[in-house]
Amino acid sequence: MRVGIGILGGGTVGGTLARKLLEDREVIAAKSGIDLELVRVAVRDLSLPRVFPASYATDRPEDVVADPSVDLVVEVMGGLEPALGLVLAALDLGKPVVTANKEMVAAEGPTLFTRAASKGVSLLFEAAVGGGIPLIRPLSESLSGERIRRVLGIVNGTTNFILTAMESEGWSYEAAVAEAQRLGYAEADPTADVSGADAGAKAAILAGLAFGVWVGPDRVFVEGIEGLDAADLVYARQLGYRVKLLAVAEDTGDGVVARVHPAFVPLDHPLSGVRGAANAVFIEGPDIGELLFMGPGAGGGPTATAVLGDVIEAARELLAAAQVAPRIRFGPGTVLDFADVETKWYLRLEVVDAPGVLAQIAGVFGEHRVSIMSVWQEGRGDAATLLLVTHDAPESNHRAATDALRHLDVVRQVAATVRVVTDEP
């Protein structure tokens, strides 16, 4: 039973997938009962060396989609266009699509799912969020009957590597980024990773799958790690935390909210121990309790393996010649603004070391209905560093209090603000 495969994108993931299809064809057939035949691979530049024979390459991606010998299309180009147009064209031809494109799925998910359903074919994207971690299928199928409360994810390996290096090696942010680039974890321009944009797209997808309410990327609050100082990672450890860039999706009872930002994670939380470039997603629910999915979140091998799993499943459905029922459905629901959600904050303030300073700062928090949980002070002559951790209060109250602190004469600098993970959503 043959299924012809066309790949859009011959880079790290697409090239690795093409090589696996060629080298492991007999093994895949023996295990799955399906003969997956690589037909064509669309690349941007035909002159570049590839890990698969050049005879498979073409610089005309539209020809891959239209080729009658291509039964199933894999999209690993990334970005919105031309990927979106090519995927929609493949679906219109009745060809299943497997993609690892989180930006496209996050931005155009409802359009893509509706189009696939109308044609009765699969649209699978296991590799779009956790790379090699099996995550999409458990969320959309295995846990579809569970009322998930919260999803916490380390879904960007580059930023996790940077934060790990800053903490364990004492490096500055700039030095850690440079090392991530040297090792190939970060691109020459790491903006999409360090700004939180990459994790933001993944947070939107996770929220939609977990709660059945579509959350577009424009409704995800995003804050990156660029403003973090190595000193705050040291203070975090002293206070019993470790800093991670988290994607958080939660059902507050009043609605769904999704966000990405650095966070103080308690040292005894499973996500605290996720080191280096690894990814992990932590899921909480009333019946399942707590689940942790962890593994390599990026790289050609792990991501191509996840893509290949989707290819085999889509090929099985294609050979069954049956109308494919939509796996993912979205219903009505409320998407909340992050400013309305209760959060807990850590703040590092550089202040004048004089009597009455703490009282003035406490007064500002009181005016904005934010309660202080703990205070730690380190004096340095005429100046001092204050570390504060607050109790839960509306995010908007924290922001207003912090803005007011910047106008106090005794506060020389609001040096850092980081949200703190609480035990309950």
In a domain? residue 308 = yes
Whether 425 has a pLDDT exceeding 60, the answer reads no
pLDDT band at 300 (very low <50, low <70, confident <90, very high): confident
Among all residues, which ones are annotated catalytic? Answer: 202
User: 182 and 275 in one domain?
Assistant: yes
Whether 252 has a pLDDT exceeding 80, the answer reads yes
CATH number where 12 lies: 3.40.50.720
User: 152 and 256 in one domain?
Assistant: yes
Containing structural domain, residue 52: 2-131+300-320
Whether 107 has a pLDDT exceeding 80, the answer reads yes
Q: Tell me, what's the pLDDT at 327?
A: 65
User: 310 and 262 in one domain?
Assistant: no
Whether 424 has a pLDDT exceeding 60, the answer reads no
User: 309 and 291 in one domain?
Assistant: no
Q: Burial code of 130-155, b = ≥16 C-beta within 10 A, e = fewer?
A: bbbbbbbbbbbeebeebebbbbbbbb
User: 173 and 307 in one domain?
Assistant: no
Specify the DSSP class assigned to residue 335.
Answer: B
Q: Tell me, what's the pLDDT at 26?
A: 94
In a domain? residue 335 = no
Q: Determine contact, residues 284/41, Cβ cutoff 8 Å.
A: no
CATH number where 182 lies: 3.30.360.10
Tell me the C-alpha distance between 116 and 94, whole Å. 8
Q: Tell me, what's the pLDDT at 353?
A: 86
Q: Determine contact, residues 99/32, Cβ cutoff 8 Å.
A: no
Q: Burial code of 65-98, b = ≥16 C-beta within 10 A, e = fewer?
A: bebeebbbbbbbbbeeeebbebbbbbbeeebbbb
Q: Tell me, what's the pLDDT at 325?
A: 61
If one counts the domains in the chain, the total is 3
Dihedrals phi, psi of 414, to nearest 5 degrees: -85, 95
Helix, coil or strand: residue 91: helix
Q: Determine contact, residues 249/406, Cβ cutoff 8 Å.
A: no
User: 153 and 91 in one domain?
Assistant: no
User: 193 and 57 in one domain?
Assistant: no
In a domain? residue 336 = no
pLDDT digits (tens, 9 = 90+) for 359-412: 999 999 999 999 999 999 887 678 899 999 999 999 999 999 999 999 999 999
User: 122 and 147 in one domain?
Assistant: no
Helix, coil or strand: residue 204: helix
Widest Cα–Cα separation across the chain: 81
Mean per-residue pLDDT, 261-266: 96
- The predicted model scores a pTM of 0.89
Residue 75: beta bridge partners?
Answer: 8, 99
User: 240 and 175 in one domain?
Assistant: yes
In a domain? residue 13 = yes
| Mean pLDDT over the full length of the chain | 91
Q: Determine contact, residues 77/101, Cβ cutoff 8 Å.
A: yes
Mean per-residue pLDDT, 51-67: 96
Strands 57-58 and 35-42: parallel
User: 156 and 18 in one domain?
Assistant: no
Whether omega for the bond prior to residue 82 falls within 30 degrees of 0, making it cis, is: yes
User: 156 and 59 in one domain?
Assistant: no
pLDDT digits (tens, 9 = 90+) for 189-228: 899 999 999 999 999 999 998 998 888 899 999 999 998 9
Q: Tell me, what's the pLDDT at 382?
A: 82
